Amino acid sequence: THRLVNSLVQGGYLIRVPDNRYMLSLKFVRLAGIVRSTLGVRDIARSTMTQIAAYTCETVSLNMISGNSRLCIEVIETPAPLMHIVRPGEQLSLLHGASGKILLSYMSRTDVRQVLKVSHKNDRPSEEALFKQLDTFRRQGYAVTSNERALGVMAVSVPLFDASDTVSSCLTLSGPTVRLEHRIDQFIALM
């Protein structure tokens, strides 16, 4: 128990008060807010995701920033036998794929550099090329990638703005390139 308590203190989740007792830190309030906002986004987005999936017959996912990664929090799968598999709870790099890149495009340059800094060297694009691509995605309001995170997969991702006009989550339509590439303009307009 002592080791667990010390770990929570070091992590900033517990604070030791003068009478040698412990109390929860404000970090728990922040975590509660994240969970509450995540549930709200999921609840709000689910009906739209279902409509998009029904219309396109492709996989639609809801992703959010989680530290230096992106976290999938909801998925509506395609009924097609050939599909891009996305799993809720899956945590992936922000550096590859439409979801990660649209989220990066709304982050500050300092935060993007931090993501680059903690990524694996062989997984890291050049900073100049990445910023050029992110600027394009932000200007056009969507990201499209093909064969970037997985061979044969194409994706379109759009940012979701919260009440304070910041982006911490996105909607993504993904599927096999052979099905998406000839309808990509239609899917971009839909997203």
CA distances to 70, 106, 160, 168 from 165, in Å: 19, 11, 9, 10
Say if residue 124's pLDDT is above 90: no
**pTM given for the model:** 0.77
Q: How far is CA 90 from CA 29, 59, 65, 103, in A?
A: 24, 15, 12, 16
Partners of 158 in beta bridges: 171
Maximum separation of any 2 CA atoms in the chain, in Å:
68
Q: Report whether pLDDT(36) > 60.
A: no
Question: Greater confidence, 60 or 118?
Answer: 60
User: Which pair of tokens denotes residue 33?
Assistant: 């807010």
Tell me how far apart the alpha carbons of residues 47 and 12 are, in angstroms, rounded to a whole number: 37
| Lowest mean pLDDT, pick from 3-7, 37-41, 79-83 | 37-41
Strand order through the sheet with 59-66: 91-93, 69-76, 59-66, 167-176, 153-161, 143-146
| Mean confidence (pLDDT) of the chain | 88
Q: Which of 151, 158, 157 is nearest to 176 (CA)?
A: 151
Please, are residues 52 and 174 in contact by the beta-carbon 8 Å criterion? no
Q: What is the mean pLDDT of residues 109-114?
A: 92
